[in-house]
Structures are given as structure tokens and as C-alpha cells.
Structure 1
Amino acid sequence: MDLTKLVEWEKSRMSHQVGRMVKRGLVAKEECPDDGRGAFIVATPAGYQAIEDAAPLHVEHVRRLFIDALTKDELAAMARISARVLEHIEKQPD
């Protein structure tokens, strides 16, 4: 899948971001055997570790800023709405 299309970024922006992540050791570029111009962007062990390290703080912030602000009924409604939107998205043509 084309990462630039997935995140809806310009190619130059994606290239700069990936370059910064490569320099930090978070991702690596691997050759794409089917497309000499393309590359696979793969998380490195350090990249996976950065995700694991960030997860607890991320969860804490989501809970404090989002989950704790809503009642149980509001959260249930949000879950129903989210499920409906996801169903709709999955039916869209690529």
C-alpha cells in the first residue's frame, strides 16, 4: 500500500518524515522487488520500543481527556456511532 496515499501526505513531506525516522533508527527502508522506485518502510526494534514506551502515557491522556469526560451512556452512543461509521467506510470502493 502506498503510505503517502494512506496518510494523504505529499510525497516530499513523507520522504522528509521517513528520513527523520530513519536517522533516529525508528524505521528502515527495504527494497521493493516489484518496484525499483519504491521501498518498504519497516519499523525497527527501536521503533517498536518507542511505540511501547509511548503507549502508557498515550492511554493515560486519552482516558483523562476523552473517556473521563463522557458518561457511560455517551460512551455507548459513541461506540454505536463508531461502528456505523466503520461499516460505512469498509463498504467504500478503494
Structure 2
Amino acid sequence: GAATAAASRPGGAAEAAGSPAQSREPRAVEQRVFVKIAPHAEKPELLARLKQLLQEHPGPVATVLFYEQQQKLLALSDDYRIKPSPTLFSDMEKMLGEGTVKIK
């Protein structure tokens, strides 16, 4: 059987060890950036600036907005996937307030 051949190959065991996580989670565990939108930040011009900023840092990480007042999560489209960096996060927090940006 092919399975036994794979197991006897050096390195086969290591590959098998990695597979349970992958079968449960189609991709590598995906990080996302959560951006808290406080009531005072719910301004169209502010959100437009935020989106502009996100587009200046294209990357692999999805961005999710959390509207504090409505307790509502809004996942942004793939156009707003970003490359997280301390600079980007500090710019976002300058716009939206301290502690509003989390990556998890």
C-alpha cells in the first residue's frame, strides 16, 4: 500500500504529524487584523482615509472592522488585505485611537 511506503520513507512521519492541523484548517492559520471603530470614529471621511492607508500597505493579511457601538464585525474585501507593520498600526491608531488595532 502507498501509505506504508510513505511511512517508511525518512521524513514521512514528520509530514504525517503536520497533517491533522491542515485537514481541520484549509490554509495555514490565518491571521487577521481587527480594527475597532469607536463611535467617534464612525465618520465617512475617516473610514475613507483608513481604507486609503490600508491600500498603501498591500499584503496577505485580511482586515476586519469591529464597530463598537453596533457590536458588528465587518470583514473588508481582499482589496484591503495588508502587510502588518508597526508603522502602519501606529498610523491607524493615530487615526482611530490607542489600542484600536489588534492582530490575531
State the TM-score, normalizing by the size of structure 1. 0.26
- RCO higher in structure (CA 8 A, sep ≥6): 2
Q: Which structure: greater strand fraction?
A: 2
Larger radius of gyration: 2
Q: Which structure: greater helix fraction?
A: 1
State the TM-score, normalizing by the size of structure 2. 0.24
